[in-house]
Amino acid sequence: MRRPKTGSLLLDSSTLLAVIPTPPDHSSTAVIEEIPGLIKLHRNGHVERLPAMPEVPSTYSPEPGVVSGDVTINPSAGLWARVYVPRYPVRHQLPVLLYFHGGGFCVGSPAWRCYHNFLARLAGTAACVVVSASYRLAPENRLPAAYEDGVAALAWLRQQAGRAGADPGGWGWRARCDFGRVFVAGDSAGAAIAYSATAPDINPPARVRGLILIQPFFSEEARTSSERNLAQSAKSALTLAAADCYWRLSLPAGTNRDSIWCNPICDEGLKKMENRKMPTVLLCVAEMDILRDRNLEFCRALSRAGKRVELQMYGGVGHAFQILQNYSLSEVRTTELISDVKDFMSSSR
């Protein structure tokens, strides 16, 4: 028998069948939900988060007067926080600001550079210790998972107040904290988490003195005027289509946007609002945000329920302006927002 030429291969029919690749099943990997540039949900359940924002380590120092470090909240759940402490000497301990990032409950991290820069600046300018807490993301962990993690982060912060000795992380941040002056804050979805986290009765040693809600991400099935009519440019951080997709990805199966997980002023939400103990609220609203009118409705509901609320409106900017710096007036309005937060914390004694 003639030898095969060098480089050739003799295969029988069974071997041929074995090496022919099976065509991919595109039906199982098809994208069924997507927010371009941020997240894709595939039919087979795979979640693809795109590198929309760079992450930075805690050693990255955009503010020379502020030091930061990472601490663990719940290792089994993968929950952690980044803590920011002003370096400069102070006569007294500093108020503590527990902060939750935005991202529609689906994306985001305390390590995102945009949050790192903003919160380092906030800590230095407002003279406070900022604890930027993570939470479980949807759709892998649908609501109320993020709300539960917010409550857990506040409970963890209370535990730090009653502990002596070396603090988590081992770099002395806890000694700088006045746990009698705790504020809870967040932007967008993080503001919704902050509102939910302070719903249970909170007692000393970590008394919550104020609640700071920046463009809170709420919704319902009925549209507001700003949602219907406020045109969003390509640079907008939140379009109506993106907001709807975030809610489809994050709400529990079988619920819609009239759920209390989404709408704090639904009938059930209003009853809870009227009955709950609540510190003074600073509500920060962006004029060009599609959530503007919904935020204003929330403000009116708080007032009707007898809650103390301070409203600040930031003109000429839209959603997440203080994080993304995506408007010509972003820097000016961010300076104003940080000043408002500083004044609010100083007056809430």
pLDDT band with cut points at 50, 70 and 90 for residue 14: very low
Percentage of residues in the chain with pLDDT exceeding 90?
Answer: 80
Asked whether the predicted pLDDT for residue 271 surpasses 60, the reply is: yes
Higher pLDDT, residue 326 or 110: 110
pLDDT band with cut points at 50, 70 and 90 for residue 27: low
Q: Which two tokens stand for residue 302?
A: 């708080």
- Does residue 317 lie within any of the structural domains? yes
Higher pLDDT, residue 28 or 228: 228
- Does residue 143 lie within any of the structural domains? yes
- Does residue 22 lie within any of the structural domains? no
Domain of 111, CATH number, reads: 3.40.50.1820
Q: What CA–CA distances, in Å, run from 298 to 62, 214, 281?
A: 35, 12, 11
Per-residue pLDDT of 4-13, as tens digits, reads: 444 433 444 4
Asked whether the predicted pLDDT for residue 269 surpasses 60, the reply is: yes
pLDDT the model gives residue 206: 63
Query: Average per-residue pLDDT in the chain?
Result: 90
Could you tell me which residues come within 8 angstroms of residue 76 by beta carbon, excluding any fewer than 6 positions away?
none
Which one of the listed residues 132, 188, 196, 259 is annotated catalytic? 188
pLDDT the model gives residue 21: 58
- Does residue 222 lie within any of the structural domains? yes
Beta strands at 47-49 and 66-74: parallel, antiparallel or unpaired: unpaired
Tell me how far apart the alpha carbons of residues 273 and 271 are, in angstroms, rounded to a whole number: 5
For this structure, is 188 an active site residue? yes
Overall pTM surpassing 0.75 (yes/no): yes
pLDDT the model gives residue 130: 98
> How many domains does one find in the chain?
1
Residue 286's domain comprises 37-347
> Is there a contact between 246 and 105 (Cβ–Cβ < 8 Å)?
yes
pLDDT the model gives residue 223: 98
Task: State the average pLDDT over residues 247-262.
Answer: 97
Supply the DSSP string of 201-239, one letter for each residue.
---TTS-EEEEEEES-----SSPPHHHHH----TT-S--
- Does residue 27 lie within any of the structural domains? no
- Does residue 31 lie within any of the structural domains? no
- Does residue 23 lie within any of the structural domains? no
pLDDT band with cut points at 50, 70 and 90 for residue 25: low
Task: State the average pLDDT over residues 178-183.
Answer: 94
- Does residue 326 lie within any of the structural domains? yes
Asked whether the predicted pLDDT for residue 248 surpasses 80, the reply is: yes
The size of the chain, in residues, is 349
pLDDT the model gives residue 201: 54
pLDDT the model gives residue 172: 83
